[in-house]
């Protein structure tokens, strides 16, 4: 099945007194369920713009975007908000943790919006924090955590609602090499164990090495699409056994 699909997508930004800037130029892309895919390319190539369109944070100038089988252009603002809440996880370069909430409260925030009960929220987040190696930080404030710890909380927040796809914009940009490698390994494990689709925007060679597929953008166009052998999930391996 297809997790994400774009067809002939363009995106233009109007400049004050200047000609419009075309960030994307006819991008057609299909991402299968369970892919661990990276968007590569130089700064200004359109990577973040494409992630924002897939995440329903912005709308294309022309073309269509489908996520989890839904055509985003046909959805109301409320329906788009519901789709972002229930089907899409976001991992931002700047973490975007709420400073007045503890790590646990940050990770539970989307679950609360979904109406998940307190006990289920607590159990789900505590399990994720343990798996992420930050079990002792449940009651910590973001300002008291390192960048790597904050990013792991952000991963927990993205994964806890069990979305169909997780979008990550330069997830290792603010981390040292060891923390970045550990984070990518963890997300790879979650991808394999839970079948969650990951789409990254990255310059990091280490992230690119781990991707099953690397799509390269240059000047708003797809300039390359390298598919590698898929790493099968445990469920897929069991079925093939």
pLDDT tens, residue by residue, 80-131:
999 999 999 998 878 889 999 999 999 999 999 999 999 999 999 999 898 8
| Torsion region of 50: left, alpha or beta (phi above 0 gives left; psi -120 to 50 gives alpha) | alpha
Average pLDDT over residues 172-199: 84
Q: Point out the least confidently predicted range of 3-17, 26-40, 41-55.
A: 3-17
- pLDDT per residue over 35-61, tens digit each? 999 999 998 899 999 999 999 999 999
- With a CB cutoff of 8 Å and minimum separation 6, the contacts of 115 are none
Is residue 21 classed as helix, strand or coil in its secondary structure?
Answer: strand
Bridge partners for 11 per DSSP: 24
Distance of CA 1 to the CA centre of its chain: 18
Strand partners, 27: 9
CA–CA distance, 105 with 113 (Å, rounded to integer): 12
Question: What are the sequence ranges of the domains in the chain?
Answer: 33-60+77-240
pLDDT on residue 131? 82
Mean residue pLDDT across the chain: 89
Least confident of 124-133, 176-185, 232-241: 232-241
Instruction: Tell me the residue length of the chain.
Output: 241
Does residue 200 surpass a pLDDT of 60? yes
Q: Is 207 helix (H, G, I), strand (E, B) or coil?
A: helix
Closest CA to 4 of 25, 32, 40, 28: 32
Give residue 230's pLDDT band: very low, low, confident or very high (50, 70, 90). Answer: low
CATH superfamily of 33-60+77-240: P-loop containing nucleotide triphosphate hydrolases (3.40.50.300)
Quote the percentage of the chain above a pLDDT of 70: 93
- Residue 109: count of CB within 10 angstroms of its CB: 17
The percent of residues in the chain predicted with pLDDT above 90, rounded, is 60
Measured distance CA(114)–CA(91) in Å, rounded: 18
Residue with more model confidence, 191 or 229: 191
Task: Provide the CA 136 distance to its chain's centre, in angstroms.
Answer: 25
Q: Is the pLDDT of residue 195 over 50?
A: yes
H/E element, 212:
none
What pLDDT score was predicted for residue 193?
Answer: 86
Answer yes or no: is pLDDT of 233 > 60: no
The answer to whether the CB of 23 falls within 8 A of the CB of 59 is no
pLDDT at site 235: 46
């Amino acid at each position: 099945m297809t997790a994400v699909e774009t067809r002939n997508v363009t995106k233009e930004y109007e400049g004050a007194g200047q000609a419009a800037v075309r960030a994307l130029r006819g991008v057609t892309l299909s991402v299968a369920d369970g892919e661990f895919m990276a968007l590569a390319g130089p700064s200004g190539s359109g990577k973040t713009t494409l992630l924002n369109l897939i995440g329903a944070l912005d709308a294309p100038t022309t073309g269509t975007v489908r996520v989890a089988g839904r055509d985003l252009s046909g959805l109301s603002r409320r329906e788009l908000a519901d789709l972002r809440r229930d089907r899409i996880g976001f991992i931002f370069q700047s973490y975007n943790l709420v400073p007045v909430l503890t790590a646990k409260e940050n990770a539970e925030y989307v679950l609360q919006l979904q109406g998940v009960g307190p006990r289920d929220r607590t159990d789900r987040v505590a399990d994720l924090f343990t798996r992420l190696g930050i079990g002792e930080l449940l009651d910590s404030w973001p300002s008291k955590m390192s960048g790597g710890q904050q990013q792991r909380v952000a991963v927990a927040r993205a994964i806890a609602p069990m979305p169909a796809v997780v979008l990550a914009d330069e997830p290792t940009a603010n981390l040292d090499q060891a923390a970045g490698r550990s984070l990518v390994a963890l997300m790879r494990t979650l991808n394999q164990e839970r079948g969650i689709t990951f789409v990254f925007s990255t310059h990091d060679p280490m992230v690119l090495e781990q991707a099953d597929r690397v799509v390269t953008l240059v000047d708003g166009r797809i300039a390359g699409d390298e598919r590698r052998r898929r790493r099968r999930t445990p469920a897929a391996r069991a079925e093939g056994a």
